[in-house]
Structure 1
């Protein structure tokens, strides 16, 4: 195993999330399981959304793994995307691994059947190509919104706070 492959595997095994960017759309944080040299993800109704990423069987994706402790970027690698066919041998093995890591599933007993019917299970296999780490933060500017987290303080609040200290 090469040093690059070892770095990718170790980082992915220890990280709970990977950031995946397909040919379209923004990168998205996805929970995953590392199994037999690849990251496995499941998405669809009732699971994490994969739509808008453009992840197709035979395509590629960019995967970024961050440190679980500090959140810093550890490695960014190119993955070959394979969509596993429901009830195939690879699919059954992948679902067995994914089921164990799926938290708070509403239908834990029938989750494999639901995934076969409604969801996609993808295998993201490292191609060996890694990107060099950036110098800057790459933080995106927040989208404009009317939402606010701070409002003006009510006029009578300072008096109420002062009165509470005396008693």
Structure 2
């Protein structure tokens, strides 16, 4: 398994990962679609302030059972706009994976109006635990809003 496949496998197995940018760490629910971690943020969804203004972010992927940090991967931020080639498959997957969605019938239209949908496309630069600071690898990230 190559490192990019490892990121895909970890992202598919966990409904939560951490996205770091702008000196902050954000826990996010997501869906793996195609070759990217896909996230909806803003509006009444999870806060990821100004994520669309960043070119790259850092994904931290942890073991679902032990919470140990398994890999970190830089990812390119791609905004998914309504009507684009990725809009339907990404928003359909996000809608299907969203727990406790109160407005299932109107969620995608609401996201188009008030949220930002992004694809976080991992690069080939994946760091494994022996390449990540021990201080970070054995602690939970500081979660902020």
Question: The TM-score by the shorter chain falls in which range?
Answer: 0.7 to 0.9
CA radius of gyration, larger in: 1
Aligned residues: 139
In the other structure, the counterpart of 1:10 is 9
Q: TM-score, normalised by structure 2?
A: 0.87
86-95 or 36-45: bigger deviation: 86-95
What is the CA RMSD across the aligned residues, in angstroms? Answer: 2.1
Aligned position for 1:79: 75
Q: TM-score, normalised to structure 1's length?
A: 0.76
Partners of 1:42 and 1:140 lie apart in 2 by 21
Distance (whole Å) between structure 2 residues aligned to residue 142 and residue 56 of structure 1: 20
> Which structure's relative contact order is higher, taking Cα pairs within 8 Å and 6+ residues apart?
2
Give 1:68's aligned residue: 64
CA contact (8 A) 1:58 1:82 kept: no
Which blocks of at least 5 consecutive residues in structure 1 are unaligned? 144-167
Residues 1:105 and 2:101 are matched in the alignment: yes
| Candidates 20, 32, 41, aligned match of 1:34 | 32
Residues 18-59 of structure 1: per-residue CA shift (max 9 Å, x gap): 10011x1411100000010110000111110011xx423660
Structure 2 segments unaligned to the other structure (5+ residues): none
